[in-house]
Structure 1
Amino acid sequence: MKEVYSIKEAINKIEHYCAYQERCHEEVVSKLRTMKLDSSEIDEIIIHLISSNFLNESRFACSFTRGKHRIKHWGKIRIVNELKFRKITTYNINLALKEIPPEEYLDTFHSFAERQWEAIRESDALKKKKKFCDFLLRKGFESNLVYEKMKEMESSE
C-alpha cells in the first residue's frame, strides 16, 4: 500500500471498498486512517460517501442483522451487542431488528437448538444441559428461550 494518497485517489479506493460490501462509518474511518489522511480529509470523504449513498448506516445495520441471523444463526442479543460495538445508533439497531420476522426468528432458534442438542455427545445430563445452554447464550439467544428449550429437550429424551 502506498504511503500518501490524494483525496481523489482515496475517494476512488474507498468507494470500491464500500461498494464491495456494506460498511459502517467506523470501518470506513479506520480504513481512511490507515491511508494516512488527516481528520478534515476524512470528514470530507465521509460526507462524499454519504451523499453518494456509498455509506448508509441504516442499510448497513439491516444487512448485517439479516446476514448474521440467517447465515450465522445469531440471536438478537449478540446482534445488538455487535452493532453497538460498531457504534450504530439505537434507532438503527431497532430498525434492523425489524428485519427478522418473529416466526422466522423462532423457527431458526428451534431448529438450531435441536441440531445442537443432538450434536452434544455428553453422557452426564447436567454437563450436556450446561453445554447446550452456554452455546445458545453465546450465540445471543434470550435466556428465557434457551431455558424453556432445554426443559423441552430434556423431557423429550
Structure 2
Amino acid sequence: MEHKSYTFLEIKQKLVNYCVYQDRCHKEVEQKMWDYLLIPEAKEEILLYLMKENYLNEERFTRSYIRGKFYMKSWGRNKIRNHLKFKGVPEKLINSCFDEIDEDDYQKTLGKLFHNYYDKIKGVQVYQKNSKTIKYLLSKGFEYEEITQVIKDAENDL
C-alpha cells in the first residue's frame, strides 16, 4: 500500500479537523502525527499552532473526558485517573479537574450502581453478595472506602 503524500498545510488542516471533531490530548495528536512522517520541527510547529489557536487544550480535554466518563459511563475517579494517566495527562492537571464531578452526583451514582448490581445477585449469602458487589464497583473505578460506606449505609437502612 502506498502512502499519499500531503503538503505541510494539508497535514496541519487535517490535525485541526482531528482536534475540532473532539477534544484531544497531546499524546493523541502526537500519535496522529506519526501517520504523516513529519520532521520534528514540523511536528513542533503544528503542535504550537494547535495550542495557540486553542484547538488543542489539555485542560479542556481533561475536563470533558472526566465529565463524559463519569456522567455517560458511570466510571469512578480511579478508572478515570488511570485512563487519563495512560493518555499522558499530568497527575496535577487530573486532580485539579476532578471538580467537574459534583460530589452529590458521585455518591448518588455509586449508590445506584451498588443497588442495581447487588439486587441482581441471587442465591448466595450476604457476604458473597457484598464481595461480588465490591469487586464490580472497584472495576468501575470507585474507591474502596466509598464503596464500604455505601454498604454500611445500605445495611443501616435495613
Q: If the length of structure 1 is used for normalisation, what is the TM-score?
A: 0.90
Superposed displacement of residue 25, structure 1: 0.4
Cα displacement (A) at 1:120: 2.7
Aligned to 1:63: 64
Q: 1:122 to 1:147 in 2, by over 3 A?
A: farther
Amino acid at match of 2:31: S
1:63 to partner: Cα distance: 0.3
Where does the alignment leave 5 or more consecutive residues of structure 1 unmatched?
none
- Kept in 2, the 8 Å contact 1:22–1:55? The answer is yes
**Residue correspondence of structure 1 range 5-154 to structure 2 within 5 A:** 5-153=6-154
Aligned partners of 2:4, 2:28: CA distance in 1, in Å? Answer: 19
Deviates more, 1:120-129 or 1:90-99: 120-129
Aligned residues: 157
- Percent identity over the alignment is 33
The one-letter amino acid of 1:6's match is T
Structure 2: tracts of 5 or more residues without a match: none
Correspondence 1:4 to 2:5: yes
Cα contact 1:132–1:150 (8 A) shared by 2: no
1:4 is paired with a residue whose SS is coil
Query: How far apart are residue 19 of structure 1 and its match?
Result: 0.5
What per-residue deviation string (whole Å, max 9, x for no partner) do you get for residues 89-134 of structure 1? 2332122101111111111111121111122344243432222111
CA RMSD of aligned residues (A): 1.9
